[in-house]
Amino acid sequence: MNTSIPGYLTVADVAERLNVKPATVRRYLHKKDLPEPDTRAGQSPLWKEETIQAWEKERKSASWSRKK
């Protein structure tokens, strides 16, 4: 991962984790498809790993529910 602040994920980190481009992560954030950042370093959003893990879990369960 590209994290430069221990315990936080950058846009690039989240993109790598989701296997998408950073621009896609920024679009998700703009469309409110991602949780709000836990903090910011200047203008750069940062998420705690736990925040993204919880979002991924919720996202997977929501996808599962739609398939039923």
List strands edge to edge, sheet with 39-41.
8-9, 44-48, 39-41
User: What is the mean predicted confidence (pLDDT) over 37-43?
Assistant: 95
- Looking at the chain, the number of H-run helices and the number of E-run strands are 3, 3
Look at residue 16 and tell me if it is in a domain. Answer: yes
| pLDDT for the residue 61 | 81
The answer to whether the Cα torsion of 54, 58, 63, 65 is positive or negative is positive
Q: Return the sign of the alpha-carbon dihedral for residues 48, 52, 58, 61.
A: negative
> Is 65 domain-assigned?
no
Please report which confidence band the pLDDT of residue 2 belongs to, taking 50, 70 and 90 as the band edges.
low
What global pTM score does this model have? 0.83
Residue 20 lies in a domain: yes
The C-alpha torsion from 22 through 13 and 25 to 53, rounded to 10°, is 160
Q: Is residue 63 over pLDDT 50?
A: yes
Within-domain flag for 64: no
The reply to whether 67 falls in a domain is no
Going by pLDDT thresholds of 50, 70 and 90, the confidence category of residue 41 is very high
- Counted domains in the chain: 1
User: Does residue 68 lie within any of the structural domains?
Assistant: no
Provide the domain limits for residue 36: 8-59
